[in-house]
Amino acid sequence: MKTPNPQLDGQGNLKHFLTIEGLRREILVEILDRAEGFLGVAKQAVKKVPLCRGKVIANLFFETSTRTRTTFELAAKRLSADVLNLNVSTSATAKGETLLDTLRNLEAMHVDMFVVRHGSSGAAHFIATHAAPHVSVINAGDGRHSHPTQGMLDMFTIRHHKPDFAAIKVAIVGDILHSRVARSQILALNTLGASEVRVIGPRTLIPECAAEALGVRVFHDLLEGIRDVDVVIMLRLQRERMTSALLPSEHEYFQLYGLTEERLAQAHPDAIVMHPGPINRGVEMESQVADGTRSVILEQVTNGIAIRMAVMSMCIGTQNLAGRGEKAPYG
């Protein structure tokens, strides 16, 4: 018998969003379609919908973040939720309080959802396993494992420029070994039926057997790898996760794998350039590309709000509004 996906409730609806792995294409498409309906909220005079009114959402960020933390906060506020932002560096975690004790104390404040970023792979799953039954958990990035809302906002951005996944070739360039973003993107692209997914980088940063198991083509030459692709996704070099000298120098990395206007000419003439941020300019790409006409990097950030609204409303809203037969008041 197939093990039920722990992210889904008894009706097959999303309750937690921990990883893209194991989720059906229909769920990913529902996230993208719901996010489409939320894009317009930013253009309203009052940038809010009442979908999560009365709900309490706690952001627990045990690792640094600019984009993910702020867009989750904005998304929760646009859904009219009450938002708690736990500043871990000034919380009782610094005095030795365990993750579970922090969880129990926040649950005692009637929190309905935890948004969790943590340096350890599996942290969000751990919280979902131990949280009270009514509480939903969203993974905002755990170790090297998964960053599912980033993966989905990237799919949303790609779909806006290239509506047919079956017709696109995507290249992901850089530090695949340490990248939770790459893993989430590959899972989403495969589930949504992308024609071809390539990963490009030095041998030290691509776990070859894992990459092939994920159903991607591996390249070690940038020009060969980006030839004719429709989407080029550059990844950040994750120095903080490198435990040994995997690269000679950032200068040499740029010489071999840095994206320049000249190199980008190898890709399809309409190719878009993406990066999850933060960018190391002059390491992963030159500024002319990051700020150029083919860059959709800031669109990715904007789209992150709509995608996070979609995921949060599905996890909380589906259970608590649709479950009572109420119509979702958006889009």
Contact residues for ligand CP, defined by CB under 6 A: 65-68, 141, 150, 276-278
Q: What are phi and psi of 162, to 5 degrees?
A: -135, 85
Considering the complex, state which of residue 44 and residue 66 has its C-beta at the smaller distance from ligand CP. Answer: 66
Considering the complex, state which of residue 308 and residue 319 has its C-beta at the smaller distance from ligand CP. Answer: 308
Residue with smallest beta-carbon separation from ligand CP = 68
Least Å distance between CB 312 and ligand CP? 16
Considering the complex, state which of residue 59 and residue 150 has its C-beta at the smaller distance from ligand CP. Answer: 150
Q: How far apart are CA 269 and CA 230, in angstroms?
A: 8
| E-assigned strand segments in 104-228 | 113-118, 136-142, 169-173, 196-200, 217-219
Considering the complex, state which of residue 277 and residue 292 has its C-beta at the smaller distance from ligand CP. Answer: 277
Helix (H) or strand (E) holding 305: helix 297-312
Least Å distance between CB 129 and ligand CP? 24
Least Å distance between CB 235 and ligand CP? 10
The three-state secondary structure class of 57 is: strand
Q: What are phi and psi of 244, to 5 degrees?
A: -140, 170
Considering the complex, state which of residue 65 and residue 190 has its C-beta at the smaller distance from ligand CP. Answer: 65
Measuring CA to CA, which residue among 296, 166, 173, 278 is closest to residue 233? 173
The three-state secondary structure class of 14 is: strand
Sheet with strand 217-219: strands edge to edge: 217-219, 196-200, 169-173, 231-234, 272-274
Q: What are phi and psi of 114, to 5 degrees?
A: -110, 135
Least Å distance between CB 15 and ligand CP? 23
Least Å distance between CB 276 and ligand CP? 4
